Amino acid sequence: MDHFTLRDGVLHAEDVPLPAIAEAVGTPVYVYSRATIERHATVFREALAPLDDPHIAFAVKANPNLAVLRVLARQGYGADVVSGGELIRALAAGMKPADIVFSGVGKTHAELEQGLREDIGQFNVESEEEGYELAAIARRAGRAARCALRVNPDVDARTHEKISTGKSENKFGVPLDRATAIYTALAQEDGLDMRGIAVHIGSQLASLEPLEAAFAKVGALIGELRGAGCKVTHADLGGGLGVPYRAGEALPAPAEYGAMVARVTKDWNVRLMFEPGRVIAGNAGVLLTRVVRVKRGLTHPFLVVDAAMNDLARPALYGAWHDFEAVEPSGERMTAHIVGPICETGDTFAMDRECDALGAGHLAVFRTAGAYGATMASSYNSRGFVAEVLVDGDRFAVVADRIAPSAIMDAERMPDWLA
């Protein structure tokens, strides 16, 4: 459920008509709904109610906007970060260091030091090499880094190949059959406090079965580790729950996920941790865009909008579907190719899409753009960085300025020898 609804024929975000935002901020612009973010955070937390004191860390990469993170911090969410930049953001937004988990297969020496310095809650170590490096850094600082070992359960998440992370050929985690040896070895290291196992098999999962298969393997591993004399007090089950991108699409509900987790983990005797991203932010945002012009096409017209693949990369990157709707629908329909202005055929949001009839100057939205939207923006074609707005009831605020092409150019330098 979200708070983007038609009222008197005009699409609103909560109580704000979207044309008012377009007027004030221009287009394209991401619009997030605070009530929707909070609702999703609550639904997910309530879905985990059968568990004893779960730790929930929002996957910052899904939407790293500071205001969005602040809303989630106030909901008691921690953060799952995958870079030093995300760590800075989580702290700036008010997330407690103890509630921050640091994931990622390529944490640099400097990032490991940064995490230790900030005394974050947990490092999800993705290789034995990383474990030894972190141990050395921690010893030098006279500290012990709290760690989980991320395992690769070799489970097919049945999602898009570019966002599948739990197959043995993927770069993430350590193979299950080596996990006990690696965990035991790292647990001997001064400087490491090995306390758990982490797993995350992919994103936009449409079924709970792969998750359950992965969790079952983690359960068996925990038993094996304890049998080998290791301490295991935490298990981080990652994120990955999918969201509907098409109206009416059915996906596992958070409550079904929570019930499955409770059933599979009932004898684990650990504190469970979660890293939801998309399921919290996805349907809490839209990308508001204006039709530049309607161009005649061979079979159908091209609706050329002012948003492009640099603003919303998912269709170009994953062939992803985003529902597309007029802000003030007339009731008429059309079939069109929906494209951006970028000089690349990949800059196509949809081909042969049946949608609301639109003409030059009309406003429209791409729905479900709150996760993996603005955060993936680039300045390709020397376009600026898209602005972001957060709505709260009948008020709204710009929570990320549009960055003009000239501002990006200001960071470039002409060498003396070309002056």
Ligand X SMILES: *Cc1c(COP(=O)(O)O)cnc(C)c1O
Kindly list the catalytic residues: 343
Cα 358 to Cα 330: distance, rounded to the nearest angstrom: 9
Cα 396 to Cα 389: distance, rounded to the nearest angstrom: 7
User: Does 59 participate in binding ligand X (rule CB under 6 A)?
Assistant: yes
User: Does 164 participate in binding ligand X (rule CB under 6 A)?
Assistant: no
Q: Which of 238, 254, 315, 329 touches ligand X (CB under 6 A)?
A: 238
290 or 367, CB closer to ligand X? 367
Collapsing DSSP states into helix, strand and coil, what is residue 81?
Answer: strand
Q: How far is the CB of 82 from ligand X (least distance, A)?
A: 6
Q: How far is the CB of 198 from ligand X (least distance, A)?
A: 8
Query: H or E segment at 75?
Result: none
**Which 8-state DSSP code applies to residue 335?**
E
Residue with tokens 């839209």: 286
Q: How far is the CB of 211 from ligand X (least distance, A)?
A: 11
The interface mask with ligand X, positions 15-54, x = CB under 6 A, is ----------------------------------------
Q: Which of 203, 283, 310, 348 touches ligand X (CB under 6 A)?
A: 203
Window 87 to 146, contacts with ligand X (CB under 6 A): 103
Window of 56-64, 127-135, 178-186, 351-359 that interacts with ligand X by CB under 6 A:
56-64
Give the largest CA-CA distance in the chain: 70
Cα 175 to Cα 126: distance, rounded to the nearest angstrom: 10
**Which 8-state DSSP code applies to residue 284?**
G
Q: Which of 121, 210, 277, 340 touches ligand X (CB under 6 A)?
A: 277
Closest CA to 365 of 7, 19, 8: 19
CA angle at 90 for the pair 282 and 237, rounded to the nearest 5°: 60
User: Does 62 participate in binding ligand X (rule CB under 6 A)?
Assistant: yes
Tokens of 36: 């929707």
Query: Quick one: how far is CA 241 from the chain centroid?
Result: 11
Residues that bind ligand X (CB under 6 A): 59, 61-62, 80, 82, 103, 200, 203, 238-241, 275-279
Residues placed in the known binding site for pyridoxal 5'-phosphate: 240, 275-278, 372
